[in-house]
Amino acid sequence: MLKVGQTAPMFVLPDSDMDPIDIAEFKGKNNVILFFYPRDDTPGCTLEATDFSDHEDEFLRHDCVVIGISRDDCLKHAEFRDKHGISVRLLSDVEGEACQQYGVWQAKEVDGVKKYGIVRSTFVIDKQGVLRIALYGVIAKGHALDVLRVVKELNS
């Protein structure tokens, strides 16, 4: 798992329109909020993505770009985005490379069976590419506002 103060791992992943997004491009320009979520179109993931979208303008006022990442493919992301009016960019990590780099691909025990999946997690990367916040195992409800509060504190 990553720790605050580390240099954030960089990667290039396609968004829901299949355009490659290199998060290194934001260095020097924007803070980046990465939220990793388990799956498109599930109740908790929908709540989290729509909450971040609802507050996107406020994040932008604080020089923050918000990006959601799951292992769903680009097509599924596009359907999810369009169905729920999600405005934040959604990246597809089908191979799990960013999930591994950020330590969010973890073993979970469900009904006595060990399975791997994404642990809902959020990272705030500053304009210099340094992790300012690393939160693992977050709760979707109210999370976007919690992150916004922390971003405001970091910027003051």
Chain position carrying tokens 């997004």: 21
Active site residues: 45
- Terminal C-alpha separation, the chain: 27
Answer yes or no: is pLDDT of 15 > 90.
Answer: yes
pLDDT at 156 over 90: no
Total-model pTM: 0.95
Are the CB atoms for 118 and 105 separated by under 8 Å? yes
Closest CA to 89 of 21, 149, 43: 21
**Tens-digit pLDDT profile for residues 17-41:** 999 999 999 999 999 999 999 999 9
147 contacts 62 by C-beta, under 8 angstroms: no
Which amino acid belongs to residue 2? Answer: L
Give the pLDDT confidence of 42-93 residue by residue, as tens digits. Answer: 999 999 999 999 999 999 999 999 999 999 999 999 999 999 999 999 999 9
Count Cβ atoms within 10 A of the Cβ of residue 116 and give its class: 0-12 exposed, 13-18 middle, 19 or more buried.
exposed
Q: Are 51 and 143 in contact (CB under 8 A)?
A: yes
The rounded mean pLDDT for the chain is: 95
